[in-house]
Copies of this chain bind each other. A is one copy, B any other.
């Protein structure tokens, strides 16, 4: 599935609800999901980690929808098929 298609799906399912809730409280939900992901990771529950990663990306998409941010464009702009810092594949940066 294309990244933009997933964002559109989340818009269709949740935009009306996200808009009623507002961006600030939607962002708080995103952070709650990051907490749940962290707990699943700490517990080494890999199936749960996958589910929580899905939730984090879904809530990122909800916030992006409210701010009119195109996630796919943002990803391709930041990671144009190479490391954005050293421009190499694989990355040869002395850090990260």
A interface list, Cβ under 8 A from B: 1-3, 6, 9-10, 12-17, 27, 29, 31, 34, 38, 41, 46, 49-51, 53-58, 60, 63-64, 67-79, 81-83, 88-91, 93, 96
Residues on B with beta carbons closer than 8 Å to the beta carbon of A3: 1-3, 6
Complex: how many Å from CA A82 to CA B15? 13
Copies of this chain, tallied across the complex: 2
Complex: how many Å from CA A9 to CA B73? 15
A14, B91: Cβ atoms under 8 Å? Answer: yes
Residues on B with beta carbons closer than 8 Å to the beta carbon of A70: 50
B1, A72: Cβ atoms under 8 Å? Answer: yes
Residue of B nearest to A83 (CB): B13
